[in-house]
Structure 1
Amino acid sequence: MGELLDSMAPIKPVRRGDVVEGVVMRADADGIFVNIGQKAEGHVPPTEMRTLNEDELAELDVGVSVLTMVVRPETADQPAILSVDRAVGEQGWRYLEKALDNGEVIIGAITGFNRGGSIVEVEGVQGFVPMSQLVSVSRDHFRMYQDGEGEVDPEIDAARKEAQGEDIGKSLQMKVLEVNRGRNRAIFSERQAVQEMRDEQKARLIEELTEGEIRMGKVTGISSFGAFVDLGGADGLIHISELSWSLVNSPDEVVKVGDELDVYVLRVDAENKKIALSLRRLQPEPWETIHERHAVGDIVQATITKLTNFGAFARVEDSVEGLVHISELSTRMITHPREVVKEGEEVQVKILRIEPDRRRLGLSLKQAAEEANFQV
């Protein structure tokens, strides 16, 4: 009964400009004939399907679905005239609306530039990528396009054309920010798509990483507190304290942007998606090999780093410090180390004890002076 009622429902005629989906009934040199439903047929002449390439034309077999736009409605004597070319734009708008709803990444090609960004084409629809949302086009190139408009200097004009040659036609992966068919407006973001892909890569990498393993990376950035290293889709941080066992004042003393190096995976924080790396852990800790460089009884150069009531701390290497007890500072009686030394002062000390396991070094300023026949 339902089918009978449906068949009795009034047929809504197609009108000029309607976009209809039909099924190919026949394809030959005269074009294709399409069943557009409601007992109506349409004809797509060859001149209305020029946007199809050879492979797409070959796929137009009987039974294949095709989207068309009505150029002339059906008459009593003639079938409707349809256009695949004119429907391509509408199909593109539908594609963009679907991509926006589903948050999908789309692919488009750069066709030109204006003062605000890049013009791109996606599925036959022209859209816009603001400069702030572009990643693949350098700001130097974009500035050249802006400043070069109407430029008469041959050299500058040639440089602008060369840059355009690199950028025009470039394929971009993007997210759809806005689609307004009525205003013929489509806004895209390459930056958002790139960030999303990097987030996915980072999530996968974090799952794969194991604390304690060694990975190859590339330095991508340097800040006052450390260096960022790309491990292949995700950046990890080498804190300045993990760059070297020696004292580092600035990360660029150790690494430069672009350096490729092995790094030690120190910590992986899956919840916060953070990766802590180390460079110094790939080298032996100075305390572990101190016996290779120093022995009890050696006289060494040291720098006073800190004064306390019970003595003075002195650095004999960048990361190895020892204590000169107050009783080992002078042969005379003193009440505070400041009577003999000050912070930052360079002195000679004698090594009395080496305790690598406890990270302790016993030093004597007094005995070093006695051996040098110098009374402090």
Structure 2
Amino acid sequence: MSSSEDEAASPVLGMAELLQDFEPLKPLQRGDIVDGEVMAIDQEGILVNVGHKYEGVVPPREMRSLTPEKLQEIKSGSDIYVYVVRPATDEDQAILSLDRAQKEEGWFDLQKRLDENEAVEGKIQGMNRGGAVVEVKGLQGFIPLSQLASLGRGPSDRNQEDQLAGRIGETVQLKILELNRQRNRLILSERLAQQQQREEQKDKLLEELEEGQVRKGRVSGIASFGAFIDLGGADGLIHISELSWDPVQSPEEVVHVGEDLDVFVLKVDRDTRRIALSLRRLQPTPWDTIADRYEVGQLVEGTVTRLTGFGAFARIEGPVEGLIHISELTDKMIEHPKEVVREGDTVTLKILKIEPDRHRLGLSLKQADETWEDQETLEPEETEPEPLLLEQQNVE
């Protein structure tokens, strides 16, 4: 393109921009929310320049939602959003509202939070039999009774009312259940917000947890199969088999709700979001200290736990089991241990061998019987005196 063509195009573009600059401005309408600049503040209200060559005033009745602290923050030159209550006329200034602007801004913000599934903060202002009245972003919302958290079940309605009254003034995190701007309706849930917060804490904890760690926790619940431990954002389970090295009939034998304790992280399954914990792994195993309690040659009681073709296994305590080889069951020739013992039998056994490192224990049933027989043989038998000796004693 030639330089003359460039010069010809330039004035055309400049004119278009100039015309755009002088395009008539859209007049303010009732319900508009505009950004204005504070010009002055006095007892009559706040004078605001809203552009469009207009000025408007926010009367005291339209800024009741402002706290004294917030009002002091507004200075000449401050930018504020205002709601147009009445547009300006040739005779009167525009009437503006901070309260209504805040509400409209609140509705907009709450809709955004709902769309993004985020929680909001609110303050409980009052209670009734149906739930709690709460202030959120300058708007009034309602929390149904079923959506309030940490509300214990009292023995009477009066007790429940006292609990509700005690929460007035409390700041809470909430999830939006229903939002309807036209009907001025805002329904919220404290319970869901706490659930979401707990899920977020659990996600963070699952990333931090490593198998083999020792963590502090609190017993949050007990079931027949184990105990639930709150690790500070997520619950892990100690299966009943991991509560103690000794047999446990009920978790209440070992732990109690509310008890603080250290736990061993056994497994972290991030796919299923499950955490397996152990209490017994923090304690010495019976095998570690078996030499302190037993010795070779000692007689012990054991319970037969299972039979095999080569012998029988017997438990002498907790997880400590030993093998009674088939040759150590009896002096007789047998085909199978079931000819001598059955599962569940309680028998006296003699310890033949102890191997703590290999978790092995050699036991004998027949030698235990022989030991008892030897002990009985060593005991002196009471004999009746001979008749002649009795006669001599009587003569004397």
Give the TM-score category using the shorter length.
0.7 to 0.9
Correspondences of 1:32-111 after superposition (within 5 Å): 32-111=46-125
Correspondences of 1:358-373 after superposition (within 5 Å): 358-373=358-373
Post-superposition Cα deviations, 1:342-374, rounded to whole Å, max 9, x if no partner, equal: 222221100111122222211111111111129
Report what 1:7 is aligned to.
22
Provide TM-score, normalisation by structure 1: 0.86
The Cα shift of 1:168 comes to 2.4
The Cα shift of 1:18 comes to 4.1
Q: State whether residues 306 and 313 of structure 2, in contact with CA within 8 Å, keep that contact through their aligned partners in structure 1.
A: yes
3-state DSSP of counterpart to 1:348: strand
3-state DSSP of counterpart to 1:287: coil
Report what 1:151 is aligned to.
none
Residues in 1 aligned to 2:72 and 2:140: alpha-carbon distance in whole angstroms: 27
Alignment CA distance shift 1:128-1:47 (3 Å) = closer
Residues in 1 aligned to 2:69 and 2:133: alpha-carbon distance in whole angstroms: 28
The Cα shift of 1:294 comes to 0.8
Q: State whether residues 47 and 57 of structure 2, in contact with CA within 8 Å, keep that contact through their aligned partners in structure 1.
A: yes
Post-superposition Cα deviations, 1:155-184, rounded to whole Å, max 9, x if no partner, equal: x4xx34432332222221122233210122
Report what 2:141 is aligned to.
127
Structure 1 window deviating more from structure 2 (219-228 vs 17-26): it is 17-26
Post-superposition Cα deviations, 1:29-73, rounded to whole Å, max 9, x if no partner, equal: 321111223222211122322221111111111232223333333
Report what 1:26 is aligned to.
40
The Cα shift of 1:339 comes to 2.9
Structure 1 window deviating more from structure 2 (4-13 vs 234-243): it is 4-13
The Cα shift of 1:217 comes to 1.1
Correspondences of 1:249-328 after superposition (within 5 Å): 249-328=249-328
List runs of 5+ in structure 2 lacking aligned partners: 1-15, 377-396
The Cα shift of 1:99 comes to 1.7
Structure 1 window deviating more from structure 2 (262-271 vs 241-250): it is 262-271
Report what 1:205 is aligned to.
205
The residue identity in structure 2 corresponding to 1:30 is: E
Alignment CA distance shift 1:179-1:299 (3 Å) = same
Residues in 2 aligned to 1:13 and 1:371: alpha-carbon distance in whole angstroms: 110
3-state DSSP of counterpart to 1:140: coil
Q: State whether residues 65 and 138 of structure 2, in contact with CA within 8 Å, keep that contact through their aligned partners in structure 1.
A: no
Q: State whether residues 127 and 165 of structure 2, in contact with CA within 8 Å, keep that contact through their aligned partners in structure 1.
A: no
Provide TM-score, normalisation by structure 2: 0.82
3-state DSSP of counterpart to 2:218: strand
Structure 1 window deviating more from structure 2 (193-202 vs 358-367): it is 193-202
Alignment CA distance shift 1:10-1:85 (3 Å) = closer
> RMSD value over aligned CA atoms?
2.5
Alignment CA distance shift 1:22-1:101 (3 Å) = farther
Corresponding position: 1:138 with 2:151: yes
Pairs aligned (count): 360
List runs of 5+ in structure 1 lacking aligned partners: 149-155
3-state DSSP of counterpart to 2:277: strand
Structure 1 window deviating more from structure 2 (55-64 vs 304-313): it is 304-313
Alignment CA distance shift 1:197-1:12 (3 Å) = same
The residue identity in structure 2 corresponding to 1:325 is: H
Q: State whether residues 28 and 84 of structure 2, in contact with CA within 8 Å, keep that contact through their aligned partners in structure 1.
A: no
Alignment CA distance shift 1:255-1:333 (3 Å) = same
Structure 1 window deviating more from structure 2 (64-73 vs 89-98): it is 64-73
Correspondences of 1:237-256 after superposition (within 5 Å): 237-256=237-256
Residues in 1 aligned to 2:95 and 2:344: alpha-carbon distance in whole angstroms: 92
Q: State whether residues 153 and 160 of structure 2, in contact with CA within 8 Å, keep that contact through their aligned partners in structure 1.
A: no
Residues in 1 aligned to 2:217 and 2:161: alpha-carbon distance in whole angstroms: 36
The Cα shift of 1:205 comes to 2.9
Report what 1:183 is aligned to.
183
Post-superposition Cα deviations, 1:193-218, rounded to whole Å, max 9, x if no partner, equal: 32332233233333433433322211
Residues in 1 aligned to 2:51 and 2:115: alpha-carbon distance in whole angstroms: 28
